[in-house]
Amino acid sequence: MPSRKAPQTLKAMPPSKRGGGGGGLSAGALAKTKRKEVASIAVKKKVGAPPKTKPVPSKAVDGKAKTPQAASAVATTVSSKQFDGEDTALEIAKAFMRTAAASALAGVRIGHGGPFGASIVRDGVVIACAHNMVLHCGDPTKHAEMTAIQYACKALGTHDLSDCDLYTTCEPCPMCWGAVRWSGLRKAYLGVDRFTAARYGFDDKVFYDEVNSKHGCYGLCLHSDASRRWQDGKVNGKTVEEPKHQSMVEIYDGVLHLEVAKTFADVEHNRTLARRNRTMSGDSADAPVSGQDLAAANSPRNQPLPSSPTDQDSHEEFMRLAIRAAKVGVREHRSKDREPFGAVIVKNGHVIAEAHNCVIENRDATATAEICAIRLATARLGTHNLEGCTLYSTTHPDLMSLGAILWARISKVYCGVTQQLAAQSGFEEGLSHIRELVEVEAGIPSANVIRDIAAGECEAVFQEWSSRNGIIY
**Whole-number CA gyration radius for the chain:** 22
User: Rounded to whole angstroms, how far apart are CA atoms 137 and 462?
Assistant: 21
CA 282 to chain centre: 36
In sequence order, the β-bridge partners of residue 128 are: 120
User: Rounded to whole angstroms, how far apart are CA atoms 77 and 68?
Assistant: 12
Dihedral (Cα; 8, 14, 20, 22), 10-degree rounding: 160
CB 470 within 8 A of CB 131: no
Sign of the CA dihedral 268, 269, 275, 276?
Answer: negative
Active site residue 145: yes
Task: Residue 425: count other Cβ atoms within 10 Å of its Cβ.
Answer: 25
Task: Residue 257: count other Cβ atoms within 10 Å of its Cβ.
Answer: 22
Per-state percent for the chain, helix, strand, coil, to nearest 5 = 40, 15, 45
The torsion angles phi and psi of 103, rounded to 5 degrees, stand at -65, -40
Q: Give me the half-sphere count of Cα atoms (radius 13 Å) on the Cβ side of residue 145.
A: 30
Query: In terms of DSSP bridges, do strands 250-252 and 412-417 run parallel, antiparallel, or are they unpaired?
Result: parallel
The 3 state secondary structure assigned to 91-140 is HHHHHHHHHHHHHHHHHHHCCCCCCCEEEEEECCEEEEEEECCHHHHCCC
Query: In terms of DSSP bridges, do strands 165-170 and 187-192 run parallel, antiparallel, or are they unpaired?
Result: parallel
Stated as kind and residue range, the H or E segment containing 361 is: helix 359-362
Query: Angle at the Cα of 10 (from 5 to 13), degrees rounded to 5?
Result: 85
The torsion angles phi and psi of 350, rounded to 5 degrees, stand at -110, 140
The torsion angles phi and psi of 71, rounded to 5 degrees, stand at -65, 150
Query: In terms of DSSP bridges, do strands 165-170 and 117-122 run parallel, antiparallel, or are they unpaired?
Result: antiparallel
Query: What spatial distance separates the first Cα and last Cα of the chain, rounded to whole Å?
Result: 10
Query: Of the listed 145, 171, 339, 370, which one is catalytic?
Result: 145
Stated as kind and residue range, the H or E segment containing 90 is: helix 87-109
Query: In terms of DSSP bridges, do strands 125-131 and 165-170 run parallel, antiparallel, or are they unpaired?
Result: unpaired
Q: 155 to each of 121, 127, 128, 148, 375, how far by Cα in Å?
A: 12, 7, 8, 10, 21
Which residues are catalytically annotated? 145
